[in-house]
Every structure is written in structure tokens, then in C-alpha cells.
A and B are shown apart, each in its own frame.
Chain A
Amino acid sequence: MASAAPDHDHEPGADPGFQAGELHFEAPDGVASLRGDWTLRALTPGIAALRRRLATVPSTARWQLGGAGRLDSFGATLLWQAWGRRWPEHIELSDERRQFIEEVAAAAAHPLPMPPRFTVIDAVVLLGAALLNLFSHAGDFVRLLGQLLLDLLRLASRPREWPLLEISANLHKVGVKAMPVTALVGFLIGVVLSYLSALQLKAFGADIFIVNILGLGIIRELGPVLVSVLVAGRSGSAMTAQLGVMRVTEEVDALAAMGISRTIRLVLPKVVALTLAMPLLVLWTSAVALAGGMLSAWVQLDLSFAFFIETLPRVVPLANVYIGLVKGAVFGLLIALVACHFGLRVAPNTESLSTNTTASVVSAITLVILVDAVFAIATRNIGVPI
């Protein structure tokens, strides 16, 4: 349909400036006349006052549009709405302008469809969809896991196909580059934990038990979980976002079209790298946290570093270190798998990217804490001195 402004008297050379649109209405003779430009730009400064004036004009007024300058579709819409979406009884305007306003009115007569209202049925559908979505997630996750296992079998017989370059690049990215932040957080947690424990222990005169508390707590429990939370937020989200953007830009499809397995090239390096890097990060963070605790114990309780270091292996069995390392590897595996799973589910739009990245981090942390609880129960008889 044709729709616009033959009326948009925009001859070349017209001054880029404008005259603000005005409305003159004289009550006695009931004439409403338009002056100035009725365009979005010209009307913007005084729009509130103009709306008020428009509202005061009675429906019996005689409208004169001849004096107005330019009229654009915003001005026309404003008038049409002020007239109550129909032509006033008395109106003077040029044929061109009448045609223009009629086009605006014709478009307005076909209103946009409203988004459907939310009903009880929608609520049921939403609930059902959420449940089915859970199954679809489970299915996808199992498929990813299976594909990864098949790829590992394939790679077992062809050692030359291992994506070693990608693995080492990922190892650097998720391992080495994460060292400063995990060290900082670990150190501070160690200091705080030691400080708070020392306050209590002092009251009982049980100062030397600070070594037991810090050693067991950090090596067995706090180190792995703390690193997992940090790594899920730092590397897990990055993995999801990276795979997600690769989905959006069709890079994943390009790989598939070249006959290159996306699990071998994209997922496997991330999973292997994080599974290898996490135990090392756990070791590193636990060590730094213990150093922080040791410093705090020295300041608060006057325990010497030498005493702390000498006592630690006696009160904390070596099994705890192994438990911490195994936990680190398992958590790393889980975080990377969850991150890749959500990354590969991203649909090509920004909303999906943000939803999946959030879901990836939240699921990874939740899963880590759940599995940690399972570990706590399974290893309750190992490495705890009684």
C-alpha cells in the first residue's frame, strides 16, 4: 500500500530548522487551527502542553489544517488519536493531506495482533514443557557423554589424532591463567577461617588444634569446592559462551560440514584440560589457603611456621590430599561437561546465549555441591583421625 507524505513539503534547500507545531483554538467561534510544523522533531519539545491543548478541543470544533507547515506520520497519528480515530465533522484541508491522513488511519484500522494472554492452560503447558525440557537435557547430556566415549575409543587406536594443541591451549587458559584469582581468594579465605577459629580455640586453650581444623577443612573440603565455584564462574561460563557464539556464527556447523568431529575438536580438549588442570589448581589453592591460615595463626595465636608445618602431616593423613585431588578432577570433568552441554544447546539469538550461560554456571555449581555431598558420605571412613 502507498502511505506517506506527498505533503512532507521537503523541498531541497529548505532550512534544516523548524517551526514548532502549535494549535490555536478559539472557544467562541469553535475554530481549531494548526500552525507550524507537525513533525516528530518539531513537536517533541512542547508535546505535553500540546497534548493538553488537544484534549480541550471539543468534538464539535471546526478544524483548519491549511496553516500548518510540514506534517509527518507522527503528527498525523497524534491528530487522528485526538479526533477519536474518525474524521471530525468540520474540517478544512487539502486533498493531498486528507489522503495522507487516510493512509495513516487505514494502517491504524488494522491493529497489530496482541500477544496472547497468559491462561491456566499456558501454565500447564509451561510446567509440562519444563519437565520435557529436563528430559531433553538429560538425553542431550547422555548423548554428549556417549559421543565423547566413542571418540575416546576411536582416539585410543589413533594416537596421532589427539587434539594436543587444543588441549595444551585450554590447559593454559583454564589452569595457568586461573592461578592468580584462585590464589587471592584462597589466601583470604585461609586468613579469615584461621582468624575466626583462633578466636574460639583461644577461649578453650586449644590453640594447637588450629592446625587440624585448617588442614582437614581446607585440604579435604574447602579447597576443591572453592576452586570449583571459581572455575565454574570463570572458565565454565567462558566455555559455554564460546561454544554458544560458535553456534550462532555457524562455526560448529562448518566443522561438521568438513567432517571434523565437534566433540573431538571442541568438547574433548576442554574436558581433558579442565580435568587435568583442576587437581593442580586445587593443590595450589589449598597450599596458598594454608599459607594464609598459617600467617593468621602466627599473628593471632603466636604459632610458629615451623611448628605448623611440622604438625600438619601428623594430624592430617595423606589420604585427605588424595581425596582432594580426586574431587578436583571429578569436579573439573563435571564443570567442563556441563559447560559444553549448555554451549552446544545455544540457539542463534542473544537471549538463548545469556540463558544458557547462566544455566551452565548455576548447574555446574549445584552439581559440584551435590557430588561433594556424595563424596563426603562415601569417604566418611577414610582419612579422618579419630
Chain B
Amino acid sequence: MSAAPVIELTGVVTRFGDNLVHDGIDMAIAPGEVVALVGGSGSGKTTLLRHIIGLTRPAAGEVRLFGESLLSASAGAVRALQRRFGMLFQQGALFSAFNVAENIGFPLRESGVASEAEIRDLVALKLAMVELEPAHALLMPAELSGGMIKRVALARALALEPELLLLDEPTAGLDPDRSAAFVALIRSLQRRLGLTVVLVTHDVDTLAALATRVAVLGERRILSYAPLEDTLKVDHPFIQRFFHGEHGRWALARSNAGD
């Protein structure tokens, strides 16, 4: 694809003490793509995601978001960049002192652009987008189920009309039914809003249902970065185990039957 990439990683190196996690990661993600990051536990998927959103800095290499370098940009430019993506954290990371409506409206209120009346309308709209009832607006995060926490967190991630959505284990901790419903919700939102999505997942079901491309992290680098069909053909022990293990085969067969 010739379009300017939304995310561009070049030679990213991450080190935790003596532990080398990434050793020269190169990846470019084009607009409108849904990229799944997979890899074994401890392969640094979440760390890579944290580099992309500027929470951590790699030891070496370059991270560019929307064509701008995250590492050399001024603080103001980084803030502006950070308003252009939404992040769904693994545990939701809802502010436990705020209710649902305040959580979703928080980024809008902080940006200072929208009026109070507009914020109320927009919060109602985002709640409807993630298929929650207006009556849920006054609940506190402690009163929500796991699936609802993910939905509210997704609504909050969408509050600033992002172009890029980052999802850390979007379906972890959800039962298969809710997980499938949440994946369907993300897919429909992605199609309607034309979002670029990067997701970290362990779940072959989620990956098969959402991803247009799969990036496999292993041995401190990207083992393969290709559409799912091509990834399946890569001859690497990890990839073979991940996708052609018992559960993986089953999930893929189901997703093919579903299409």
C-alpha cells in the first residue's frame, strides 16, 4: 500500500536491565489496517504497544506516529499526537473515582473544546455505539462486569474521535460469548469509522475475526508480518505451534466456516 503509514517503527531496541527484549524491530502499519501483534509470553508485545503510545522510550530506534517522530517531538506535539489515538488497556483502566459517564466524558472535558451540553450528547452517543444503555451512565466502575468495563473503556478510547485505536488484549477475561460480541463490536466500529487498529492478543478467535495482517513477535524481532493466510504458511516452530496447535486449528476452522 502506498499510503503514508500511520505507525512506523525502525530499528526499535528495548532492554530491561540485561534482558534484551527487542533487537531491531521494523514495522509499518498503513491506514485502515487491523494489525494483530502475537507472540509468546514475555516477547514484549505490550512493551511495543507502550512504545507506540509514548509511555516508554525504546533504548534505540525510531517510532513515528502519523509521520511524526514521537521521540524527538516537543512535548506539545506529543500531546497533540496522543489525542489522535485511543488506547484500550488490558484491565480497562477506568478511573475508579468517576462514574461511567464521567469516565467517557473525561478526555473531552480535559480537551476543553466541547461544551457541557455537547459532552452529554457525545457521551450518550458513545454509550450507544458500544451498545450500553443510558441508564448505565451513573454506575461506578466497581459495579460493572468485565465485559461492561471493556465496553466503557472502548467508549472512552473513542471519545476524542481517534484515527488509530490500540487494544491490549481486548478479549482477555471475557467468556467466549461476550468475547465474540466484543470482537464483532470492534469490527463494526472499525469499518464504520475507518479506524486503524493495532491489537495485542493471545486469542486465535479474536485474531482470525479481526486482523487484516498479523505480526508475529519472537526471538526479539518480527518473525513474520503478513496477512493471516500467508502467516499460516511460514515455517517456524512458534508460528506452527501457535496456529496449528489444537485450539488454533479449531478456531481457524470455525472462523473460515463463519465467513
Contacts and interface: CB of A to CB of B under 8 A. Distances in A.
A50 to B, nearest CB: 10
Contacts of B1: 12-13
Contacts of B128: 1, 3, 103, 106-107, 110
Contacts of B2: 13
A23 interface: no
B31 interface: yes
B120 A112 contact: yes
Contacts of B134: 110-113
Contacts of A14: 3, 31
Interface string A104-116: 1011101111010
A101 to B, nearest CB: 11
B117 A4 contact: no
Q: Which of B97, B131, B188 gathers most chain A CB within 10 Å?
A: B97
A112 B113 contact: no
Interface in A64-109: 72-74, 77-78, 80-81, 103-104, 106-108
A257 to B, nearest CB: 19
A107 B115 CA distance: 17
Q: Which of A14, A15, A104, A107 gathers most chain B CB within 10 Å?
A: A107
Interface in B68-97: 83-84, 95-97
Contact of A111 (B111, B124, B129, B161): B124
Q: Which of A10, A12, A43, A78 gathers most chain B CB within 10 Å?
A: A12
B31 A73 contact: no
A15 B67 CA distance: 10
Interface stretch (A132-140, A143-151, A347-355): A347-355
A44 B137 CA distance: 26
B193 A8 contact: yes
A40 B160 contact: yes
B84 A12 contact: no
Contacts of A4: 129, 189, 192-193
A5 B118 contact: no
Nearest to B125: A107
A6 interface: yes
Contacts of B97: 349-351
B192 A43 contact: no
Q: Which of A40, A47, A80, A110 gathers most chain B CB within 10 Å?
A: A40
B194 interface: yes
A41 interface: yes
A5 B195 CA distance: 11
Given A12-B31, A111-B134, A104 B121 contact: yes
Given A74-B114, A113-B137, A349-B142, A107 B121 contact: yes
For chain A, the bracket of interface size reads 35 or more
Contacts of A112: 101, 120, 123-124, 127, 134, 137-138
Nearest to A351: B97
B226 interface: no
A159 interface: no
Contacts, number: 121
Interface string B15-51: 0000000000000001110000000000000000000
A88 to B, nearest CB: 17
Interface in B179-224: 188-189, 192-194
B135 interface: yes
A111 B134 CA distance: 7
Contacts of A80: 121
For chain B, the bracket of interface size reads 35 or more
Contact of B122 (A1, A10, A74, A350): A74
B96 A350 contact: yes
A44 B111 contact: yes
Contacts of B161: 39-41, 72-74
B140 interface: yes
A108 B123 CA distance: 9
B234 interface: no
Contacts of A180: none
B31 A13 contact: yes
Nearest to A72: B161
Interface in A1-41: 1-6, 8, 10-16, 39-41
Contacts of B59: none
Contacts of B30: 12
Contacts of B140: 349
A6 B192 CA distance: 6
Contacts of A115: 99, 138
Contacts of A107: 121, 124-125, 127-128
Nearest to A40: B161
B58 interface: no
Q: Which of B125, B128, B193 gathers most chain A CB within 10 Å?
A: B125
Interface of A: 1-6, 8, 10-16, 39-41, 43-44, 47, 72-74, 77-78, 80-81, 103-104, 106-108, 110-113, 115, 347-351
Q: Which 10 A-B pairs have the closest CB atoms?
A: A10-B194, A13-B3, A349-B96, A107-B125, A108-B121, A4-B192, A112-B137, A12-B32, A107-B128, A40-B161
26 contacts: A2-B188, A4-B193, A5-B193, A8-B192, A10-B163, A12-B30, A14-B31, A16-B6, A39-B161, A40-B113, A40-B160, A40-B161, A41-B83, A41-B161, A44-B113, A72-B161, A73-B125, A81-B118, A103-B125, A108-B121, A108-B124, A111-B124, A115-B99, A347-B142, A349-B97, A350-B96
